[in-house]
Amino acid sequence: MKREITLKINGREETITVEDADTLLEVLRDRFRLWSVRESCGVGACGTCTVLLDGRPVSSCFLLAVRAAGRNITTLEGLSDGQSLHVIQQAFVSQRALQCAYCTPGFVLAVKALLDEIPNPSDEQIREYLSGNLCRCAGYADILRAARLAQERQISKETAMPRK
Amino acid sequence: MTIRSFDLLQPRSLAEASDLLLKHRDEARPIAGGTTLVILMKQRAVHYPYLVDLQSIPGLNRIAKEVDGIRIGALVTHRTVELSRLVRNSFPVVAEAFSTIGNVRVRETASVGGNLAHADYRLDPPPALLLLKSEVTLFGPGGSRVIPLKDFFTGMYETALEAGEILVDVKIPNMPTGSKAVYLRHSALSANDWPCLGVAALVSKENGRVRELRLALSGLAATPVSVDGLEFVRDCSFDDSVLDRILGIVDEQIAPFYDLRGSEWYKRRMARVFVRRAIAQLESQA
């Protein structure tokens, strides 16, 4: 069945017609050209298709787009303001936590969800939270360092500029 | 489009959902969290012309405290169970079992009811829920009925759900006084994989003496197994002869088979290792 739905993608309301069988990943890539959302394993194991649904990490590859109607969807493109990199992205760059970078958008969003949920995670919590994101260039040590650095910078940023 | 075309039907009530399932019979399937089902449809392992969306029915995603236990709605996600203060404080073994599944994204979408109704033989929640003698509420054309979870699993991927019936919630009775429980999973492949097997164990004691031992297992037969015949452990200590007898009973009641995660021989060996380990862990906490 075709139907019209409204998705809030990176803060913008978008009304489109989708098939019930369309996955959110297909809609984000094919209709909105959000290329940071990538399909790899196709079964929720690898994390390259990670998006945030109302702030929570989900695999867009097996989420039906119609079931995301009315919800807030954040992709990597929505993380920064378009001018400067988000603190998590900066940490990935400074720690060289990427090589081919296919997995990076998923990792960055996973770190975002982690720090939103647990502002001061233990090393064990970081590892557990990120265990569902796979990096085949094997940059895990760098990625874990980037996650820690992002957490420290985020904390110091919040101390310097308290939220309104 | 990867998935073959289907219609997502969005009922507003259980009665309406039940009618839709009855009307379309084998052509329809309820969809809860839509984790396993959507993946199977993507892989074209299954196809249903109609999916009946249980997310559109209000009230199925609540965890409620009751005098004699808690009730978890079918649409509650694994992640919600894992993080629920209520569950963590009063039923840590249940929180533990749900927290070991897949990864955080899977747990954000997968639902308690979907997990049970899928009736896979190697999932983590069933042993923990069987251990605590949970019951499930089923709603169907004839109204509601409540059955023990033990009787819900009837075969591999088969349940007691009849045509037009929907799993509504699972009721977990309070842990027996003086009891402790643990869930151990053995991953033969990666940690995010399905378990090779899972062992849930509960020991309750009174004045330092063993009153009861319960064991529930997954991955070791076509359905999860709730082990019977353990009453003899009352007032015993878990010495080698008692443990041997327990392991003998377990060995008789399981029927493991070869899959990617191990042979029958291997699973029988690992069942012994993990049952022993679970009891030892509970004893060391005492």
Cβ contact, residue pair A62, B42, below 8 Å: yes
Model pLDDT, residue A155: 81
Contact by Cβ (8 Å): A135, A143: yes
Q: Which of B44, B103, B187 to mutate to test the interface with A (most CBs of A within 10 A)?
A: B103
Largest Cα–Cα separation, chain A: 51
Q: Are residues A7 and A72 both part of a single domain?
A: yes
Model pLDDT, residue A161: 54
ipTM attached to this prediction: 0.93
Q: How far apart are the first and last CA of chain B?
A: 56
Q: Are residues A135 and A98 both part of a single domain?
A: yes
> Hey, is the C-beta of A41 within 8 angstroms of any chain B C-beta?
no
CATH number of residue A58's parent domain:
3.10.20.30
Looking at chain A, the whole-number percentage of residues with pLDDT higher than 90 is 89
Asked whether residue A14 is assigned to any structural domain, the reply reads yes
B73 versus B188: which is more confidently predicted? B73
Cβ contact, residue pair A64, B34, below 8 Å: yes
Total of domains in chain A? 2
Q: Where is the domain boundary, A78, A105, A122?
A: A78
Give the count of alpha carbons within 13 A of B250, CB side only.
27
Q: Are residues A61 and A102 both part of a single domain?
A: no
Task: Using the Cα atoms of residue A18, residue A24, residue A26 and residue A32 in order, give the sign of their dihedral.
Answer: positive
CATH number of residue A109's parent domain:
1.10.150.120
Q: Are residues A8 and A74 both part of a single domain?
A: yes
Q: How far apart are the first and last CA of chain A?
A: 44
Q: Which fold has domain B179-285?
A: Enolase-like; domain 1 (3.30.390)
pLDDT confidence bin for A156, thresholds 50/70/90: confident
CATH of domain B7-56: 3.30.43.10
Asked whether residue A131 is assigned to any structural domain, the reply reads yes
Asked whether residue A163 is assigned to any structural domain, the reply reads no
The tens digit of pLDDT for each residue in B18-72 reads: 999 999 999 999 999 999 999 999 999 999 999 999 999 999 999 999 999 999 9
Cβ contact, residue pair B105, A58, below 8 Å: yes
Structural domain for A147, as ranges: 87-158
Cβ contact, residue pair A19, B38, below 8 Å: no
The rounded mean pLDDT for chain B is 96
Q: Are residues A74 and A11 both part of a single domain?
A: yes
Q: Are residues A62 and A92 both part of a single domain?
A: no
Per DSSP, chain A holds a count of helices (H) and strands (E) of 5, 5
